[in-house]
Structure 1
């Protein structure tokens, strides 16, 4: 049996390896901002001659591919396992990264971006799921939140490397190097997973309980922890004798209600406007009279704030309830959007408008990346029952990617047509999201995945009465849905 320190170190190493998928995810979603200006150049000058239409196709191809990838990879992960699915995704990541960097034409670029998006979406669903199944209950929140930290770190790396490559390279085709770098974390993911064990919960669900126990003996520090957790896993497996198909899962009332909560959380996370800020901050700031170079520099600042905020969010997750944190974050986002809208509406012509607007953007990102986004990915790893976790996580995350595409597509047009009112609309939507979370989201902190499943089944049961798992409700929560 390993010591406490050895077990903690092994779990931490597993998380570092697995979150290489999140690093690739973040880099691939962030690098396009730096590559697009060069890709707009004519082919004879080293670009692809992108027009506004083809620019939108290239950008959105990744998001749409991600929606498909998160759904299909969730289903595959229930059958072949989380680790092996991620190993397959690492190959797709590398193929997509190299393919986009070498694309000779726009159609090829769109196809390669969609393939890359498939891997991004798959990683977005599987990485937090795998970490949650490996982590002990007391560390699950912080370890799963490393996923969000690594995503925003990948975005920041993309912003900084793109700026440096653009600044110090005289080549117009430098965008190919920017895109090719994405293959590095993908390679590290595939290599590292060779040394990572499979999920003990998935192994047990496939009847491989001896292997599951051996894995637990590696990642838990005492025989008592192993026996208790193995007992909970066995009990859950005995109760859930087989994997659920999607029809059976959606035909179960409490699971269907839980899925609706998961989809609603994806709506709440994306309609905070996080990607409107991450993709379009320069456009917002140019409307205040700020110069292009200053606006691009501010985008790097937004990436820095996102990383710092996520670090603070991981600290908060270990100390505060999930519901409290998420509700506080949404309240802060509402205030930031109101402030930004008022700044754009009332401070026109003021030399300070640009800086005040940037301040409210950074405040919004602080609340989003500290108290909303990490909670979303953590809840996606906790909410769904083991026998259908891949399918339900895939459906929820796929819906989140659709909401991502919706915001990214509508935001520039909304900003052009209704201006500052765009942010008042965001404030109203986030107020609705806050009420949704307050009404329907149960608390999940402090329970093992097996006990949490029983609690959620009771919480969302059709008759609203506690069932066999009533003892698993230590928080005395109100019923939802």
Structure 2
């Protein structure tokens, strides 16, 4: 395989995996346009409305806590496939709930999918990308989250504009089924992480994957580096408090906390309500 073809295949795989970020963003933002209609549909109290919105975050916590161990056990590919299935189930379930309890349950399912994708998508991209392009390719995932949020806003606005009736919110959630199905089908053609394969002793399979993504000499070098790193890790182990990990871990946690302190989630979830409160034209808030 020549360098151009190898790079193109690697980039395409990383873009496919980054679609998990797009579904993350879409799932996060789609409820903002449906909230008013949901409140009227189910006669929600303020507390129940807040729980309906935040139930997705409860699912995220569950997804994040379990995904690392799950991906180590069953593989990165099966884990991200599971997250895609959860996005699809959530989209259909939130579009056709029998009552508010079912809606919240499906929101939690979608949140679990978000939590899983937020862990395994960047991990999988990092394990596929060559070291020289790893930072850029991981940024595909963050960009996809933003695109997903924007897509949800545009989708909601379009549905409100062209649809009739009081249950437009069903269509808003059902739209997410389309990228979920695309994500699921594309993942079926994505190989397993070579690093995970090496960690499970499947070295020949790992080398086959690398030969599909790199030139032969590069594949051999990377395979050797992965094998050596896996051997050192099994032999010595490494604590989260190891000096080499401590500072990057601390910076990552602080950045995540500061991001939440910015209040951006409140804007994403309640943007239409905020614009409605700030404007005299309630019909233009979407």
Normalising by the residue count of structure 1, what TM-score does the alignment of the two structures yield? 0.56
Q: Is the 8 A contact 1:200 1:212 kept in 2?
A: yes
Is 1:232 equivalent to 2:215 in the alignment?
Answer: no
What is the deviation of 1:256? Answer: 5.8
Is 1:180 equivalent to 2:174 in the alignment?
Answer: yes
Higher Cα Rg, which structure: 1
What is the deviation of 1:137? Answer: 1.5
RMSD: 2.3
What is the deviation of 1:82? Answer: 0.8
- Unaligned regions of 5+ residues in structure 1, if any? 42-46, 298-481
Corresponding residue for residue 291 of structure 1: 280
- Unaligned regions of 5+ residues in structure 2, if any? none
CA distance in structure 2 between the partners assigned to 1:53 and 1:188 by the alignment: 36
Identify which of 48, 53, 57 aligns with 2:47. 53
What is the deviation of 1:11? Answer: 1.2
CA distance in structure 2 between the partners assigned to 1:170 and 1:149 by the alignment: 33
- Cα-to-partner distance string for 1:34-71 (whole Å, 9 max, x where unaligned): 11111112xxxxx2222211111110000111111012
Is 1:12 equivalent to 2:11 in the alignment?
Answer: yes
CA distance in structure 2 between the partners assigned to 1:282 and 1:107 by the alignment: 24
Identify which of 88, 100, 118 aligns with 1:106. 100
**Mapping of residues 304-323 of structure 1, within 5 Å:** none
Corresponding residue for residue 39 of structure 1: 38
**Mapping of residues 4-403 of structure 1, within 5 Å:** 4-41=3-40, 47-220=41-214, 222-241=215-234, 249=239, 255=245, 258-282=248-272, 284=274, 289-293=278-282, 296=285
Q: Secondary structure of the residue that 1:170 maps to in structure 2?
A: coil
What is the deviation of 1:8? Answer: 1.4
CA distance in structure 1 between the partners assigned to 2:197 and 2:31 by the alignment: 38
- Cα-to-partner distance string for 1:385-421 (whole Å, 9 max, x where unaligned): xxxxxxxxxxxxxxxxxxxxxxxxxxxxxxxxxxxxx
Q: Which has the higher contact order (CA 8 A, sep 6+)?
A: 2
Q: Is the 8 A contact 1:89 1:123 kept in 2?
A: yes
CA distance in structure 1 between the partners assigned to 2:166 and 2:273 by the alignment: 23
Distance 1:35 1:206, change over 3 A: same
Q: Is the 8 A contact 1:249 1:256 kept in 2?
A: no
Q: Secondary structure of the residue that 1:198 maps to in structure 2?
A: coil
Q: Is the 8 A contact 1:27 1:182 kept in 2?
A: yes
Q: Secondary structure of the residue that 1:171 maps to in structure 2?
A: coil
Report the count of equivalent residues. 286
CA distance in structure 1 between the partners assigned to 2:236 and 2:36 by the alignment: 48
Q: Secondary structure of the residue that 1:60 maps to in structure 2?
A: helix
**Mapping of residues 416-431 of structure 1, within 5 Å:** none
CA distance in structure 1 between the partners assigned to 2:183 and 2:108 by the alignment: 20
What is the deviation of 1:251? Answer: 7.1
Corresponding residue for residue 403 of structure 1: none
Q: Is the 8 A contact 1:21 1:185 kept in 2?
A: no
Q: Secondary structure of the residue that 1:107 maps to in structure 2?
A: helix
Distance 1:142 1:292, change over 3 A: farther
**Larger helix fraction of residues:** 2
Q: Secondary structure of the residue that 1:40 maps to in structure 2?
A: helix
CA distance in structure 1 between the partners assigned to 2:235 and 2:276 by the alignment: 56
Q: Is the 8 A contact 1:54 1:106 kept in 2?
A: no
CA distance in structure 1 between the partners assigned to 2:63 and 2:157 by the alignment: 30
Q: Secondary structure of the residue that 2:98 maps to in structure 1?
A: coil
What is the deviation of 1:72? Answer: 0.6
CA distance in structure 2 between the partners assigned to 1:224 and 1:211 by the alignment: 17
What is the deviation of 1:273? Answer: 3.0
